[in-house]
Amino acid sequence: MSDSDDVWGSESIGDDHGYDRAIAERDWNRLHGIHGTAGYREGIAESREAHIQAGFDKGFREGLQAGMALGILEGGLSTTQAHAALTRQSQAPAAPTGNTAESVMARLTNINFDQLFPWEHFRGDIEALTGPPPPAESGMATIGDLLVEDSAHPSPREMVSPADRCERLLAGMTASQRDQLGPVCEAAAEVFDQDAASVQRPSEGPVPI
pLDDT at position 52 is: 73
Residue 163, Cβ neighbours under 10 Å: how many? 14
pTM listed for this prediction? 0.55
Residue 105, Cβ neighbours under 10 Å: how many? 20
pLDDT at position 45 is: 74
d(CA 154, CA 161): 14
pLDDT at position 156 is: 45
Q: How far is CA 50 from CA 13, 20, 42, in A?
A: 54, 44, 12
The H or E element containing residue 103 is: helix 101-109
In the chain, which stretches have pLDDT less than 50?
Answer: 1, 136-144, 146-158, 202-209
pLDDT at position 195 is: 81
